[in-house]
Amino acid sequence: MSRSIKKGPFIEQMNKKSEKKVVKTWSRASVIFPSFIGHTVAVYNGRKHVPVYVTENMVGHRLGEFAPTRTYRGHGKSTDRTTVPK
């Protein structure tokens, strides 16, 4: 059984009951199925769970693609960029 199929029963049960809950997952390699559309999946990025709202353009992609693991903060302080060395 692949990892994506594990989330299938949770999503299917929510679709039958017409309820919207956030499903937490640590599996970033899971493939998004068409039944996931309209649901929010909280994907773990190594530090916290990032909520990902699934749209139809995401079908076929992996959950980890939508939860970035690194945060770019720039190449230095803003004061370093404004001063010009002489």
pLDDT in tens, 9-20: 778 888 888 888
pTM given for the model: 0.72
Helix ranges, 1-86 (H): 3-17, 78-82
Contact yes or no for 23/53 (Cβ under 8 A): no
What pLDDT is stored for residue 66 in this prediction? 94
Distance CA 54, CA 51 (A): 10
User: What is the arrangement of strands in the sheet containing 40-44, beginning at the earlier edge strand?
Assistant: 22-25, 40-44, 49-53
pLDDT of residue 18: 85
Distances (CA, A) of 84 to 17, 52, 79: 62, 42, 10
Within the chain, which residues score under 50 in pLDDT? Answer: none
